[in-house]
Amino acid sequence: MSRHTIEYRDYAGPVQSDLNETLVRELTEPLIADLSPAEQGELFDLLSEAHFAHPEAYTRRDRTNDPLAFGLPELTVLLTPVMLAAMNEAVRYVVASALARGTRATANAIRRLFGHRGPDNPDTGDTLVLTDQQWSEIRRIVEQVARKGGVAADQAEVIADAVIGRGASGRTAS
């Protein structure tokens, strides 16, 4: 391992609240629009607020005391909290990788890295570039967080594809 790469440890629990919640929401919302359109709008906002208030709750396996729990747990998994946790961990990895290289990871650079373009994301010249190995690590992180959140393996792969796909489009776009 060179001095410019880091080894990301396995996801061990709830995400830290030191990341910019607005950034993570911005990166996650278009993914939810693609993967779970029913969770858009006000529901996304409510689920996001609940997630950031208690980020560890999305991994809770015992929901029998939850007044909203019913029937099969597979039917009650909402993607928004899982996607927020996965994107939060992906951003943490990107920031840590940038710091290991002595590079600053600005919010605008992270937005562009994950494919966000437009008037709300001006080109400030900040650029982040990840290697294929780093994108593979992000895929692994996203899949691991999704599985920990109760998502089936095939759905975890779809979530990782969405995150990586937006990032890949961010890499190749000018």
The reported pLDDT for the residue numbered 88 is 92
Q: Is residue 125 part of a domain?
A: yes
Q: Is residue 9 part of a domain?
A: no
Tens of pLDDT, residues 31-67: 999 999 999 999 999 999 988 888 877 665 554 444 4
Radius of gyration of the chain (CA): 16
Tens of pLDDT, residues 118-157: 556 555 666 788 899 999 999 999 999 999 988 899 999 9
DSSP 22-39: HHHHHHHHHHHHHH-GGG
Q: Is residue 1 part of a domain?
A: no
Total domains, the chain:
1
Identity (one letter) of the amino acid at 158? V
- Which residues fall within 8 angstroms of residue 153, CB to CB, at 6 or more apart? 143, 147
Q: Is residue 82 part of a domain?
A: yes
The reported pLDDT for the residue numbered 124 is 60
Q: Is residue 28 part of a domain?
A: yes
The reported pLDDT for the residue numbered 140 is 96
21, 38, 135, 164 from 132: Cα distances, Å: 27, 33, 5, 11
Q: Is residue 15 part of a domain?
A: no
Which residues span the domain enclosing 166? 21-172
Q: Where are the alpha helices (DSSP H) in 19-152?
A: 21-35, 42-53, 79-100, 107-113, 132-148
pTM of the model: 0.75
Q: Which of 30, 75, 28 is nearest to 51 (CA)?
A: 28
Residue pair 141/90 in contact (Cβ under 8 Å)? The answer is yes
Q: Is residue 134 part of a domain?
A: yes
Tens of pLDDT, residues 67-81: 444 444 444 568 899
Q: Is residue 148 part of a domain?
A: yes
